[in-house]
């Protein structure tokens, strides 16, 4: 689903909301209504353009355990960005590459998907322009997520659920070194650095309220073709959760 104000995104409409579900056929209608509700109750206003597509998924579903979650408090956006840089540096990414890539996020307010960045050079590897790469075909059943949060003593947060589901899929691919994300939503200032090595590290403040620039950077090894990487991100269905809950419902 994607929704915008003032026309379709490709005709200059302002992005309001996006989302998706991976579900069984039996659950399809309920999930479609959830996406309509999401788009039409967004804090950024009511969209004038709304589009939803339903694809039949035939690939085998991969099951993955969620990344572990930790939260670091930042007093302001400048400290949060500094923390983000140091968490990325923990993965062996140079300061120069981090700065180059962060500039891309700071100056973008129309990247709908992620930008794939060569972790050695800071060069962008996908050729999707402002469209970016949209991670898709991912799923974490609501009750299982809530139970998991309780077990881990985490506050249930829908935003975190969606971001953690996505980060877990992205970081389970061997090409990913780390992901950096903060929201393009001017009302949401928490961001994160995620990786298979260090988990999902939330930073409470990485931007100021009112700032509409945001998005995702995937830092990757440059030693393989990224075509199969993009295929995995966009097309391979992945279910996140604890072992007993990998089946779709
Ligand atoms: C969180 O852990 O609170 C989510 C942070 C990223 C949100 C990204 C988004 O919703 O656009
Ligand atoms: Mg958003």
Domain ranges of the chain: 2-51, 62-240
pLDDT band at 190 (very low <50, low <70, confident <90, very high): very high
Mean pLDDT computed over every residue of the chain: 92
**Residue of 106, 109, 105 lying closest to 219 (CA atoms):** 105
CB of 202 closer than 8 Å to CB of 87: no
Distance CA 127, CA 105 (A): 16
The token pair at 121 is 């050079």
Determine the atom of ligand 1 nearest the C-alpha atom of 183: 11
Distance CA 5, CA 44 (A): 9
Find the 191 Cα to ligand 1 centroid distance in Å.
Answer: 6
pTM: 0.90
What is residue 130's DSSP assignment?
A: G
DSSP H helical ranges for the chain = 28-40, 77-89, 95-106, 142-151, 158-171, 226-235
Q: Which of 68, 74, 190 most suits a substitution to test ligand 1, by most atoms within 8 Å of the C-beta?
A: 190
Determine the atom of ligand 1 nearest the C-alpha atom of 214: 11
Average pLDDT over residues 35-60: 93
Q: What residues form DSSP beta bridges with 133?
A: 114
Find the 202 Cα to ligand 2 centroid distance in Å.
Answer: 16
């Amino acid at each position: 689903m994607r929704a915008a104000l003032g026309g379709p995104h490709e005709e200059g409409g302002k992005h309001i909301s996006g989302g998706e579900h991976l579900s069984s056929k039996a659950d399809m209608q309920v999930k479609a209504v959830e996406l309509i509700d999401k788009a039409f109750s967004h804090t950024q206003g009511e969209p004038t353009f709304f589009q939803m597509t339903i694809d039949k998924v035939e690939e085998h579903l991969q099951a993955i355990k969620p990344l572990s979650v930790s939260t670091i408090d930042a007093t302001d956006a400048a400290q949060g960005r500094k923390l983000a840089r140091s968490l990325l540096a923990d993965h062996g990414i140079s300061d120069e590459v981090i700065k180059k890539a962060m500039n891309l996020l700071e100056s973008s307010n129309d990247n709908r998907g992620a930008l794939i960045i060569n972790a050695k050079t800071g060069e962008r590897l996908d050729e999707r322009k402002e469209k970016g790469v949209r991670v898709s075909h991912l799923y974490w059943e609501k009750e299982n997520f809530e139970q998991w949060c309780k077990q881990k003593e985490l506050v249930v947060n829908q935003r975190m659920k969606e971001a953690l589901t996505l980060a877990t899929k992205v970081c389970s691919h061997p090409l990913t070194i780390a992901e950096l994300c903060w929201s393009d939503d001017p009302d949401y200032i928490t961001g994160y650095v995620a990786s298979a090595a260090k988990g999902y590290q939330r930073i409470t403040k990485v931007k100021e309220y009112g700032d509409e620039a945001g998005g995702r950077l995937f830092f990757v090894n440059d030693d393989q073709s990224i075509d199969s990487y993009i295929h995995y991100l966009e097309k391979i269905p992945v279910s996140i959760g604890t072992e007993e809950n990998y089946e779709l419902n």
